[in-house]
Amino acid sequence: MEAETSSSFDFSNYLTEARTRVEEALNASLGPEKPEHLREAMRYSLLAGGKRLRPILCLAACELAGGDSDQALPAAVALEMIHTMSLIHDDLPAMDNDDLRRGRPTNHKVYGEAVAILAGDALLTRAFEMVSLRSVGVPTERLLKVVGELSLVAGAPGLVGGQVVDLECEGKQVDLETLEFIHLHKTGALLKACVICGAVIGGAQEDLLDALRIYARGIGLAFQIIDDILDVTASSEVLGKTAGKDLIADKTTYPKLLGLEESRRKADLLVKEAKEVLIPWESNAAPLLALADYITNRDR
């Protein structure tokens, strides 16, 4: 059986509206940080566009759980702050050493390495402030769970662990299992935190949380496979970041291990399986089902 998005669901409209909502919330999220150039550096990367997939997943999961997604907006912003921090740090000379991100010079190219590191740190800590101090109407025990999820995903069990293994594997022969470890931690963990945080705020029961963990694992890996494919097939202009980077950095990727065609097949299968677990909630899952398809159909 295949989980299908209802034909009456207008995904393009949904995405436009959700992005507008997220952009407004992000824009309002940074206060009068001092000094001014730290504030500017934080805003520079946070408001540089991007697909806003993570906050949208958070809002959609909250709605699927039957919650009011306005209550999940601070958490959605927090997740985008953590994502943006990870991009700023990933681009640093000591890491992937990149000049282009979201169609602009990278943060350290504009503000210098020290301020870029600190702007990332400030976004990371601000994320915890968003959830704990700016959420309205969410029971404290749900917020505590969300803070726990954010702590796990930002640390060694998530982004940091994945990044360390990724850096250590550059230029080495890597097997599929290690590649999967890297991407489940570097990329998948944050996508999972997005749906789990949204669902927790929305009051999801354990069965839905379990299904969403499986859904998120599938879309997380599929997202990275497509990211690897686009690195080979798309241009820097379209991607807004340096294309062909994996080859230059001598990184193992899905296309390198499996070939382009097999990689795409794997991504399609992962998304199909991810959607299947949501069948029991299908009547309310149109946004999450369509977001799963968007992950494999995207061109950037």
Residue 288 near residue 15 (C-beta atoms within 8 A)? no
Question: How far is the C-alpha of 255 from the C-alpha of 269, rounded, in Å?
Answer: 16
Sketch the per residue contact string, 76 through 115, with ligand GRG: x for CB under 6 A, - otherwise. ----------xx-xx----x------x-------------
| Residue, CB closest to ligand GRG | 50
Distance CA 289, CA 278 (A): 8
The minimum distance between CB 116 and ligand GRG, in angstroms, equals 12
| Geometric angle at alpha carbon 290, from 287 and 291, rounded to 5° | 80
Rule CB under 6 A: is residue 19 a binding residue for ligand GRG?
no
Is 123 in contact with 42 (CB distance < 8 Å)?
yes
Within 250-289, which residues bind ligand GRG (CB under 6 A)? none
Residue span 52-71 as binding mask against ligand GRG, x where in contact by CB under 6 A, dash where not: -x------------------
Closest contact distance (angstroms) between CB of 219 and ligand GRG is: 12
Q: Is residue 160 at the binding interface for ligand GRG, with CB under 6 A as the rule? A: yes
**The binder of ligand GRG chosen from 69, 163, 252, 263 (CB under 6 A):** 163
Written in H, E and C, the secondary structure of 142-200 is HHHHHHHHHHHHHCCCCHHHHHHHHHHHCCCCCCHHHHHHHHHHHHHHHHHHHHHHHHH
Q: What are phi and psi of 108, to 5 degrees?
A: -70, -25
Q: What residues between 165 and 194 interact with ligand GRG by CB under 6 A?
A: 186-187
Closest distance to ligand GRG from the beta carbon of 7 (Å): 27
Q: Measure the CA–CA gap between 262 and 248, rounded to whole angstroms.
A: 22
Under the binding rule (CB under 6 A), the answer on residue 213 touching ligand GRG is: no
- Rounded-to-integer distance, Cα 59 and Cα 253, Å: 30
Q: Is 51 in the site for ligand GRG (CB under 6 A)?
A: yes
Return residues touching ligand GRG (CB under 6 A). Answer: 50-51, 53, 86-87, 89-90, 95, 102, 124, 154, 159-160, 163, 186-187, 224, 227
